[in-house]
Amino acid sequence: MPTSHWTNQSSSSSAHSPTGSHKLNLRGWWKAVHSLLRAPVIVARDTFRYFAFPFARFRGVYANFPQARAAVSWKKRIGYDHADLAHRYAAELCLSLDNSEYPVLYHLDRLVSDNCTVLDFGGNIGVHYLRYRQAVDLKNVRWIVCDLPEITKVGRQICAGMSNVVFVNDIDEIDAPAVDIFMASDSLQYVESSNLLLPRLIDRGLRPRHVLIDHLPLYDGPQFVTLQNGGLVRYPQYVFNRDAYLSRMRQLGYELVNFWDCRDFSCNIPFHPEKSVRAYTGLCFRAVLNGPQKAHPPPPRFARWC
C-alpha cells in the first residue's frame, strides 16, 4: 500500500482519536482562560495610561482639533510655539543618526542635486539638516526650514553661518523660484490645516517635484484626532485614514514611489484598541505628468527629477 495512504490514514485517525480531541479541548479551554485573565490586565494598563498620561503617550479620541484642545487642563499649555520649549530642543540637540532615518536618507541622496531647494516643513531648529548633512552632501542645496516663530528664532542661532539654510514661519514667506523636494518628518499630523499645505504651494506655482513624508500615523479606520503628552506641553494630532490620504495625494498629482514602516513610532490610545497604530508610515511620492500646476483648475505639467 502506498506510503501516502498510510500517512493520510494515520493523520485522519489521530484527528478523530480521543487524545486528539482532548488536546483540541485543552487548547480551546486555555485560550478562553487566557482571554479572561488578559482582559483585566488590559483594563488596568489602559486605566493607568489614561490617568497618568505619561510622556509621549496619547489620550482621547476627538472629531477635530478644537474638541481636543478643549479637553486639555487649563494648567497645561498647548502647541509648540514656546520659547522654553525651543531652548530645550537646542539644549538636547542630538546629531546622531537614528536607524529610522535611513529610508529618508536613501531617497534624499538620490533626489538632491546642486542648487535644488528642499522645503523642510516642521524642521524644528534645523535638526534634519544638521543630521542629514553627515550622510548626504547638502552644502549646495538650499534648505528652507518652516516652523513656528519661537522655534525658528532659536534655529537661526543654531545654524548661524550656514548661508544655504533659511528659516520661515509660513510657506507664504518662501522666496524661491521652485521647491524641488517637500519634506515633512513627524510634523504633518500636528497641523490642523495640513491638507492645505501642498495645494497652497501648487497655487503659488511651487509644486514640489518630490514629496518625502516620514513618521506619519496612518491606519485603516476613520480619521480622528487625539492628544499627545509632549512633556512641557500638550498637542492635538491627527491619525489619518491610509486610503484617503493616498487618494488625496493622487488627486494632487503625485504617485507613490515607496513606503516603509517607522516601527519606533506608534500610537496606542487607552480604551480604544481599534484606533491604535502599531507603526507609523514613511512615504515617498513624485509628481506625475498629468499632475496639477494649480490646484484649481489642474493644467498638466511635466515633472522631472531635481
Q: Do 202 and 292 meet the contact criterion of CB atoms below 8 Å apart? A: yes
Report the C-alpha gap between 153 and 173 in whole angstroms: 15
Q: Inform me whether the pLDDT recorded for 289 exceeds 80.
A: no
Q: What is the pLDDT of residue 284?
A: 98
d(CA 209, CA 107): 13
pLDDT digits (tens, 9 = 90+) for 51-61: 565 566 899 99
Report residue 105's pLDDT band, with 50, 70 and 90 as the boundaries: very high
Task: Tell me the C-alpha distance between 95 and 59, whole Å.
Answer: 30
Q: Please compute the mean of the pLDDT values over residues 299-306 and round it to a whole number.
A: 28
Q: What is the pLDDT of residue 19?
A: 54
Residues 115-143: tens digit of each pLDDT: 999 999 999 999 999 999 999 999 999 99
CA atoms of 110 and 121, how far apart (whole Å):
20
pLDDT tens per residue across span 209-248: 999 999 999 999 999 999 998 888 899 999 999 999 999 9
C-alpha 53/C-alpha 45 separation (Å) is 11
DSSP H helices, 53-101, are 65-70, 83-91
Q: What is the pTM of this model?
A: 0.79
| Residue-level pLDDT at 27 | 65
Q: Give the model's pLDDT for residue 9.
A: 42
* CATH code assigned to 58-287: 3.40.50.150
**18 preceded by a cis bond (ω within 30 of 0):** no
From CA 16, how far away is CA 284, in angstroms rounded? 53
For the chain, the structural domain boundaries read 3-52, 58-287
∠ CA 177-246-141, rounded to 5°: 30
Q: What burial class does residue 78 get, using C-beta atoms within 10 Å of its C-beta: 0-12 exposed, 13-18 middle, 19+ buried?
A: middle
Mean pLDDT of the chain: 84
Q: Which residue has the higher pLDDT, 76 or 300?
A: 76
- pLDDT classification of 280: cutoffs 50, 70, 90: very high
E strand residue ranges, 231-294: 233-241, 254-262, 280-287
Q: Specify whether the CB–CB gap between 116 and 306 falls below 8 A.
A: yes
CA 114: distance to chain centroid?
A: 28
Say yes or no to pLDDT of 35 above 80. Answer: no
